[in-house]
Amino acid sequence: MQSFELIALHKSLYYNDPSLFLFTPGRVNLIGEHIDYNGGLVLPFAITKGTYLLVSKRNDKIINCYSKNFDNLGIISFNIDSYEKGSNWADFVKGAIYELNKLGYKLPFGLDLTFLGTIPTSSGLSSSASLEVLIFNCFKQIYNIDISDEKIALLSQAIEHDYIGVNCGIMDQFIISCAKDNSVMLLNCANLEHSYSKFELGDYRILIMNSCKKRDLASSKYNERLNECKWALEIVNKYYKVNDLCSLKFTDLIHIKDKFEDDVIFRRALHCVSEMARVKDCYDALQNNDLELVGKLLNQSHESLKNNYEVSCIELDTLVEAALSQPDCLGARMTGAGFGGCAIAIINKDRVNDAIKDIKNKYLEVIGHECEVYVARVAGNTRILNLGEDYEL
Ligand code: GLA
């Protein structure tokens, strides 16, 4: 879709010209999976697929929300000062107002909003975090609210916790809100310290492989894993004083292996401790341009997520195997929460086209429905777009 078409749609819905046009990216996590809520390090980057928003001010206190992705729901309207949760996507808008109200901000007038997401929902590329960060950026611009990108990340996570009911970590919201162009972020989720490193892959590209199997974070086993990790930490804390699983040394974990009556809980801890080490190694390997090592670490991460953390599925394993069977593929793994969604692979740029075809065929043969495969492009954080320019969305 072109941006001029989206603007025409906005005008036809609201008879109101937009005064603001924003884009907020989605994200891919290179490595460091399911450890953000265990005080770990993660290595995500933002991507050029994400969420667009057109905004017009109103003279009353009504917020109108329309999303091209949920066209069947039409325009969802509510009053800024009195609204109820609706069990649909507009809850993210309501959640943002709720969080700002808690901080004492009262929004003075209503808005007409038109959204378009270019990452499919529940595909593991953080469409919800993209939406949350986008909404706060919209309010920041329109209502002149003084609020930093880091604060926006925390408020976006708060929507998930307080309003949507998903106890997610901070990774998605943080990278999406604070991303820098052409960079991967090393984020310490225990204290939010972070640094950026140029994401240069030379002759290699990252493929995003979408299984097109939808997962639902709230109803999936995400919260179950979170509780298993809490349980693991309780056992660990009987022997070692650590604040989180990722602060535990590998040798110390092995030392108390037989104290875990339940092998499942031990394996959850093993994933966290080993994934933490892989993130550090991967960051160093990127600094040294050692992409072969990056690839190996991705493979190990996938094995651990599949066998120890048990968040992969046949669809993701099939994509990873299909990618690894390509010539010049350095490594592959699931990315995001798992149970469906996307996997990534590092592949030589000259092999990309053949690999895409072959992976799609193999996937269709084994799984019986199609997948999507494309090259990831690294993006910065939220951008204000020019309303007079025509963009391909
Ligand atoms: C989801 C959550 C993140 C993180 C990943 C798994 O994307 O929102 O906080 O836990 O899963 O790494």
Mind listing the pLDDT tens digit of every residue in the chain (393 residues)? 999 999 999 999 999 999 999 999 999 999 999 999 999 999 999 999 999 999 999 999 999 999 999 999 999 999 999 999 999 999 999 999 999 999 999 999 999 999 999 998 888 899 999 999 999 999 999 999 999 999 999 999 999 999 998 899 999 999 999 999 999 999 999 999 999 999 989 999 999 999 999 776 545 789 999 999 999 999 999 999 999 999 999 999 999 999 999 999 999 999 999 999 999 999 999 999 999 999 999 999 999 999 999 999 999 999 999 999 999 999 999 999 999 999 999 999 999 999 999 999 999 999 999 999 999 999 999 999 999 999 999
Strand partners, 204: 348
pLDDT for res 119? 93
Ligand 1 nearest atom to the CA of residue 29, by list position: 12
What end-to-end distance do the CA atoms of the chain give, in Å?
5
pLDDT for res 217? 56
CB atoms within 10 A of CB 306: 19
Report CA(144)–ligand 1 centroid distance (Å).
Answer: 30
Cβ(133)–Cβ(382) under 8 Å?
yes
- Strand ranges (DSSP E) for the chain? 20-29, 41-42, 44-57, 62-67, 76-79, 111-117, 183-188, 194-198, 204-210, 329-335, 342-348, 372-375, 378-379, 383-384
Cβ(106)–Cβ(58) under 8 Å?
no
The H helix count followed by the E strand count for the chain is 11, 14
Q: Whose CA is nearest to atom 9 of ligand 1?
A: 169
Ligand 1 nearest atom to the CA of residue 222, by list position: 11
Ligand 1 nearest atom to the CA of residue 129, by list position: 8
Angle at 346 between CA 32 and CA 310, to 5 degrees: 40
Q: b/e for 128-163, b at 16 or more Cβ within 10 A?
A: bbbbbbbbbbbbbebeebeeebeebbebbbbbbeeb
Q: Whose CA is nearest to atom 1 of ligand 1?
A: 337
Catalytic site residue from 60, 172, 216, 290? 172
Whether residue 28 has its Cβ less than 6 Å from ligand 1: no
Whole-angstrom distance, CA of residue 236 vs CA of residue 231: 9
Q: If we measure between CA atoms, which residue out of 182, 207, 208 comes closest to residue 196?
A: 182
Whole-angstrom distance, CA of residue 393 vs CA of residue 3: 6
Q: Tell me the backbone φ, ψ of residue 123, rounded to 5 degrees.
A: -105, 5
Assess whether 263 carries a catalytic annotation. no
pLDDT for res 189? 98
Whether residue 91 has its Cβ less than 6 Å from ligand 1: no
Q: Whose CA is nearest to atom 11 of ligand 1?
A: 337
- The residue with tokens 């401790």 is 273
Whether residue 112 has its Cβ less than 6 Å from ligand 1: no
- Residue in 164, 167, 171 to alter for ligand 1 test, most ligand atoms within 8 A of Cβ: 171
CB atoms within 10 A of CB 195: 11
Whether residue 340 has its Cβ less than 6 Å from ligand 1: no
Whole-angstrom distance, CA of residue 292 vs CA of residue 152: 36
Q: b/e for 57-66, b at 16 or more Cβ within 10 A?
A: beeeeebbbb
Ligand 1 nearest atom to the CA of residue 166, by list position: 8
pLDDT for res 219? 59
Cβ(271)–Cβ(34) under 8 Å?
yes
Angle at 67 between CA 62 and CA 68, to 5 degrees: 145
pLDDT for res 378? 98
Ligand 1 nearest atom to the CA of residue 171, by list position: 9
Sorted by where each starts, the structural domains of the chain and their CATH numbers stand as 3-200 (3.30.230.10), 204-378 (3.30.70.890)
pLDDT for res 121? 80
Whether residue 6 has its Cβ less than 6 Å from ligand 1: no
Whether residue 171 has its Cβ less than 6 Å from ligand 1: yes
- The length of the chain is 393
Whether residue 47 has its Cβ less than 6 Å from ligand 1: no
